[in-house]
Amino acid sequence: MNIGKQTLKRLVLIIAEIIVSPLTLLDRLGQILGADHIFSTIGTALSLIPG
């Protein structure tokens, strides 16, 4: 069971990276474009992610 928990933790971390990476790209894109609504969207999305 311990191996299963470790695998699950790794999967969660990988999924978190997949989710966060586009958000980081959007953040940079927003800085380039100066689009404020992108930042508020990212803030909302980040507030939904636990941790």
**What is the structure's pLDDT at 32?**
73
**What is the structure's pLDDT at 30?**
73
Angle, CA 15 vertex, CA 11 and CA 16 arms, to 5°: 115
* Residue ranges of the chain with per-residue pLDDT less than 70: 1, 34-39, 51
| Cβ atoms 16, 49 nearer than 8 A | yes
**What is the structure's pLDDT at 39?**
63
Quickly tell me which residue has 């997949």 as its tokens.
18
**What is the structure's pLDDT at 23?**
80
Q: How much is the pTM?
A: 0.42
